Amino acid sequence: MSKNQGLGNPLVVAALAPSAAKAANGSIDFVAKNGKNIITLVAFGVALYYGRKEYIKWSIQKFFEKNGDNPDVITAMIFYKAMHKDWTIDTLLFSYTIPDGTDEDVLNEYALKVSSLRNVVKAYKKIFRLNLHTDIRSELNTKELIGFYERLKAHEKQKVKDAIPFDDFQPYIAGQTLVVTSDKGTLLRKAIYDTSKNTISMGKVLKTIPYGDSAYKIKQVLVNSGSSRISYVVDIPWDIWDDGIVDHRDVEPK
C-alpha cells in the first residue's frame, strides 16, 4: 500500500476528524481568550513606533530653535540638499530617502565654509539620522572625494599658516607657478611700478581667485619687513599690459 492510501480509508478519516476539530477549536479558544492582549500588544507597538517618530520630530524642532542660525548647522542642511531629494518613502517597516544625483559644486563650495567638521557631522546626524561621511563616500568618486576633503581641511590649514611668524616665512622662488590654498581665496591686485623710486606697490583689486585655482607664475618676490609681508608679482596670462600681486599666506607652489 502506498504512503498516502490510508487516508482514503473512511475509518482513518473518521479517526483523524476529531483531532483536527479539537485543534481548530483550541486555536479559536486561544484567540478568544487572548485576543484582547494581542490587540493591545499590536496597538502598543504601533503607538511606540509613531510615538518615537513624533519624539524625533520634536527633538529636531527643538534643535533648530536653538541652533538654526549656526553656520555649521546650515552647512549640514545644504550638504544634505546637495545629495538627496526632499522627500522619502516612509512606511511602518522602513523609511528610505530617494537620491537625486549630487551637486558637487555646492559640496565643494560649502566645504570651504566649514569652521568645525565635527559640528557639521553632529548636526547632520541629529537632523537627518544619517552619517555625513558615509553619504559623501557613496556620492563621490575617489578623485572628487580627495578634492572635497582637501577643501574641508583648507580652513584649518589657513589658520595654521596665518599664525606663522613673519621671520619663519620661507619665500617661494621666481618661476614657480602658484595655486590658491586659502579657503577664502586670494585677492589679485594690480602691480604698480615706480621706476623713479625703483619700487613696486599694490593697486586696485583686479579679481578674487578662488581656492584651488592657479595664482599664476611668480615673476618677482617682494619682501617688506616693515609690514611683515611677503608678496609675489605674478604674470597674468590674460593681461598683456599689467602684472598682478598675490599674498604669500594665500598661496603655495603647484
Q: Are residues 196 and 216 in the same domain?
A: yes
Q: Are residues 174 and 238 in the same domain?
A: yes
Q: Are residues 42 and 99 in the same domain?
A: no
pLDDT at residue 18, rounded to an integer: 56
Contact 114, 72 (CB under 8 A): yes
- Which of 39-43, 74-78, 187-191, 202-206 is the least confident region? 39-43
Mean pLDDT value across the chain: 80
Residue where a domain terminates, one of 45, 64, 83: 64
pLDDT > 80? residue 152: yes
Residue 5: inside a domain: no
Q: Are residues 128 and 175 in the same domain?
A: no
Provide the whole-model pTM.
0.62
When pLDDT is cut at 50, 70 and 90, the band that residue 11 belongs to is very low
Residue where a domain terminates, one of 64, 86, 107: 64
Q: Are residues 153 and 236 in the same domain?
A: no
Q: Are residues 180 and 137 in the same domain?
A: no
- Smallest CA-to-CA distance from 114 within 77, 146, 75 is with 75
First to last CA, the chain: 91
Count of domains forming the chain: 3
Q: pLDDT tens, 16-38? A: 455 545 555 555 555 556 666 66
Q: Are residues 72 and 155 in the same domain?
A: yes
Residue 203: inside a domain: yes
Q: pLDDT tens, 96-136? A: 555 556 888 899 999 998 888 899 999 999 888 899 999 99
Residue where a domain terminates, one of 160, 190, 225: 160
Residue 1: inside a domain: no
Residue 2: inside a domain: no
Q: Are residues 40 and 106 in the same domain?
A: no
Q: Are residues 190 and 107 in the same domain?
A: no
> What is the torsional sign of CA 171, 212, 131, 64?
positive
Question: How do 229-235 and 214-224 pair as beta strands?
Answer: antiparallel
pLDDT at residue 182, rounded to an integer: 92
Residue 3: inside a domain: no
Q: Are residues 155 and 110 in the same domain?
A: yes
Residue 16: inside a domain: yes
Residue 233: inside a domain: yes
Q: Are residues 134 and 176 in the same domain?
A: no
Residue 4: inside a domain: no
Q: Are residues 153 and 76 in the same domain?
A: yes
Residue found under cell 559640528: 119
CATH code for the domain of 107? 1.10.220.10
- Which residue segment(s) compose the domain that 18 sits in? 10-64
